[in-house]
Amino acid sequence: MSAPRDRVFVAVYVFLQRDGQVLALKRANTGYMDGYWCPPAGGVDEGESASVCAVRECAEEVGVDIDPSSLTLVHTLHRKTDQRRVIDLFYRADFTGQPINAEPHKCDQIAWVDLATFADWMPYIAPAMGAAAEGVIYSESGFSGDA
């Protein structure tokens, strides 16, 4: 019998766009990448689909409703950290409602930022966003032999 495999962590990130800008959240008090910015995001719960997670995270973090049929997968990042392997799914979505900071205990602020010039993203977010903007649907990071 082979050894059990480590589980892969799956996370979703949702690009909510308005007037050429994307909504960004400044992380705080989470213990992970605090002080950096990211789009609404979160880990997929056991038994939950990625699209359901994307809808849930947008509602929980910024109080907007997402029509699941509007979710478009724009990039997948497979990355390896010192702690685990991760699949990051980056979506673009239409939304209704006015975004608010619905989790002030986890987020210092929210802001509409210019996708092309904003520099304070979590380290792996900007390359994934750039790849998505260029139509690249898949990338890898942290594995030996990465290009």
pLDDT by residue for the chain (147 residues), tens only, comes to 566 667 899 999 999 999 989 999 999 999 999 999 999 999 999 999 999 999 999 999 999 999 999 999 999 999 999 889 999 999 999 999 999 999 999 999 999 999 888 999 999 999 999 999 999 999 999 998 755
Q: What is the pLDDT of residue 50?
A: 98
Residue appearing with tokens 């210019």? 114
Per-domain residue ranges for the chain?
A: 9-140
Model pTM? 0.91
Instruction: Pick one of 3.40.30.10, 3.90.79.10, 3.40.50.1360, 1.10.3720.10 as the CATH number of 9-140.
Output: 3.90.79.10
